[in-house]
Structure 1
């Protein structure tokens, strides 16, 4: 008997999109990663752009090949992005633009934060970028307005239930798309 689709393992790359000094991104990334890892069918690979150094990546280098391989091996992505000046960070755009085919025919979800909008303006712009790369963005998001407020000094959510509910909805959609698109890519290679 075959596995139920929601129980099939898949790899979720969590891309931490901020490299700014004093960034809040690690708090959000740590919370989301722990939550995603509680889903037994998801293997999480955290790609922190601050550690990757996107502006130092050049085709043919070991660092570039490692980044490209990790993106290629992922079945789905969650981009953790702040909103800076009504948009997303430049290093995130650069990292996305370095590759093309590894993003294609894969689902992308978003966890955003920042100001009163919770980073949603950055997410809307990222949807356009990923559409151009033939990736599928999912509707559900996790958004933190004024992110210093919901988290305590240890990086724990003061009231975890609403964010956990949103994260579960996001992960359900990503799982469906990840498995459906992986099966489709295996049956017929994607050609853009």
Structure 2
């Protein structure tokens, strides 16, 4: 799976600091960085993928689709719980075409922590009283471009996936490819 992000410009994006608890086993996990970008996200999946689980289809970069806007960045960080200590980079993507949700690119330390993040949070409700659930995809690459033409063109052998927040819509589309 590839993500192509069409942003507004190449100027430096906002970078903030997240203070997390220091782990006694790893004191280097005290501070993580996150950034926010604005633009349009395009997701592409290889047409020739196997329907069987394939370890090579996993990666340490994951993508959380359609986080509802009522869920602040701080709420999302709390939602990650203790897994925040394993995150090396968080990029919050504000989609210019969708005012009611945002997405998140997350880089984790290694495959074990990436798999654990996925298993713990994929399908989990963001808030107990709300219907929205966390949808996570593994990414092979993330590219940033200013060109709408490049962003809208699938790489060879790939098809574009929707970034639809409706689980049924997304799950049905992914299975169909």
Answer whether TM exceeds 0.5 for this pair.
no
- TM-score, normalised via structure 2 length: 0.29
Structure that is richer in helix per residue? 1
The structure with the greater share of residues assigned to strand is 2
Task: State the TM-score, normalizing by the size of structure 1.
Answer: 0.28
Highest RCO, 1 vs 2 (Cα 8 Å, sep ≥ 6): 2
